[in-house]
């Protein structure tokens, strides 16, 4: 089944979140420590992803144009409203629900591992990358749920839709993309994803309040620039 990897990753998030609910009774000081630990881990991950950049000019242009598009589309506001809808529907009175949902969704969907794994699932039926990501996301979900609440559990929905869509798209389109171009795109997606994940880490640590969701179109802008550069320059 082509969506095995995506389903496993979403299930891992659900299982991790359920385990995290059991840890929610820990005191606020411990929660704060755990949250900042997650933030530090996310920042280190972002740095590792970001050092692969071959052209920071393209990355900066992509993320800035993506930010303009995201602000115009109000992606952050839309995700926040969806989080509040889920909060009102499933967790009335939980003030952290929307924050947990948005933060976890961004952490789980941004990054090359999910994209590469989804493409592998669609092209070759190899789900190993997404199965590995499922284990990692389960652990992250348990920690996030303990500190940010049950909203993290519902991030499994957009993760399944996002990765599943990439898998199905790859199954039909990837045959038209040269291997060299695909390698370039994956490397640079990792870089721009690293910048976004760095912003998430800073937000988790309460050092900033960056509207990270609005940068997501930057990934599409980056791909478009790289395609044009590959074929015409």
Contact call for residues 45 and 106 (beta carbons, < 8 A): no
Q: Any residues with CB less than 8 A from the CB of 78 and at least 6 apart, and which? A: none
Q: What is the pLDDT of residue 1?
A: 77
Instruction: Please report, in tens digits, the pLDDT of each residue of the chain (233 residues total).
Output: 788 989 999 999 999 999 988 877 777 787 778 778 877 877 887 787 777 777 789 999 999 999 999 999 998 888 878 777 776 776 555 557 777 888 888 888 876 678 778 877 887 777 887 888 888 888 889 888 887 888 899 999 999 998 999 899 888 877 788 888 888 887 888 788 788 888 888 887 888 888 888 998 998 899 899 999 999 88
pLDDT digits (tens, 9 = 90+) for 23-50: 777 777 877 787 788 778 778 877 877 7
Helix ranges restricted to H, the chain: 4-22, 28-50, 56-73, 75-90, 97-109, 112-124, 128-148, 156-173, 179-204, 217-232
Entry pTM: 0.79
Q: Any residues with CB less than 8 A from the CB of 231 and at least 6 apart, and which? A: none
Q: Which two tokens stand for residue 92?
A: 């009335």
């Amino acid at each position: 089944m082509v969506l095995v990897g995506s389903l496993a990753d979403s299930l891992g998030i659900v299982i991790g979140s359920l385990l995290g609910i059991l840890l929610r009774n820990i005191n606020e000081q411990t929660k704060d420590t755990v949250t900042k630990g997650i933030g530090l881990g996310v920042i280190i991950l972002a740095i590792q992803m970001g050092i692969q950049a071959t052209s920071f000019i393209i990355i900066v242009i992509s993320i800035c144009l993506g930010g303009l598009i995201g602000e115009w589309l109000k992606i952050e506001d839309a995700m926040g409203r969806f989080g509040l809808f889920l909060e009102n529907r499933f967790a009335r009175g939980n003030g952290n629900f929307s924050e947990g949902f948005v933060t976890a969704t961004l952490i789980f969907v941004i990054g090359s591992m999910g994209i590469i794994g989804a493409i592998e699932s669609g092209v070759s039926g190899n789900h190993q990358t997404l199965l590995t990501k499922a284990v990692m996301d389960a652990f992250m979900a348990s920690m996030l749920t303990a500190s940010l609440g049950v909203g993290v559990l519902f991030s499994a929905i957009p993760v399944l839709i996002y990765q599943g869509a990439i898998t199905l798209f790859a199954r039909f389109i990837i045959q038209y993309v040269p291997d060299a171009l695909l390698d370039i795109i994956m490397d640079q997606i990792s870089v721009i994803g690293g910048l976004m994940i760095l912003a998430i880490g800073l937000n988790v640590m309460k050092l900033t309040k960056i509207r990270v969701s609005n940068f997501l179109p930057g990934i599409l802008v980056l791909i478009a620039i790289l395609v044009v550069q590959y074929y015409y320059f």
